Structure 1
Amino acid sequence: MKQYIGTKVIMAEPMTMVEAQKVLGREIKPATVEEDGYLVEYKDGYKSWSPKSVFDNAYKPYNNFIDRLCVERDELDDRLTKLNEALCKDGFREKVGDYQYKLMRLQSQSMDKYLNALEYRMKGMGIKIPTSNSN
């Protein structure tokens, strides 16, 4: 099987599985009876329940552009950190070749500038910047 990454915009409300079963009018399997989670509603109106750990790993809240800006910054910082870690691994340059290595360094520099731009915007709005992983 191939691996896929998707992005969905959903509505969600914190709710235990038991509460979600009452709202949905059906039994949910498998899950722990009192496990915390979220009632999830998709754009097409379909509703389901997601355990908290699964939900938190897949979705980040954004009620407004400031929330979205913070999520964007955190996701970029995570990707930049992973790229920089790869670039620093022993033998990585030999594995990908000089040309790809140079392009990946350029990508890292560009991502760093992008991260800085997001952080300047956040500072300008008085938003506290989390400690960066990529530096």
Structure 2
Amino acid sequence: ISFTCASDTGTTDYEDFIRADLHGADDVMAWKTDHRSNSPYPLRHNGTNVFPTGIENGELSFASYIFVTKIIDGKPHNVSSGVVRGTVRTTDTGPAFSRVEVVLDTQDSVRYADHVVAEVRWRVD
């Protein structure tokens, strides 16, 4: 497995805590164990809108939206959201992740029309 995680801007004050670029199950699980041990509890990671995006070389690619919450004073609070993309392969023991890429949302939201104009202008320049 390969696992990457970062924010969409790369400039958050917690970037060191979320950034990962790992290869191999042992390294991925060691990072996840450390990351989880140093995270709030309870902390919920909810994958929604999981859908397949293709099949290539016997692997199913997928995309999903992730929404993370924690509890403060008995009420849920947003921690983060983002997009997860990856691939899953079939093994003798069942499905296994081959690749997982997480990009967490940290950019301030803007009016969609303004974003699209900025993207088009950037590509033309």
Q: Same fold (TM over 0.5)?
A: no
More helix by share: 1
Query: Structure 2 length normalisation: TM-score?
Result: 0.22
1 or 2 for the larger relative contact order (CA 8 Å, sep ≥6)?
2
Query: Structure 1 length normalisation: TM-score?
Result: 0.21
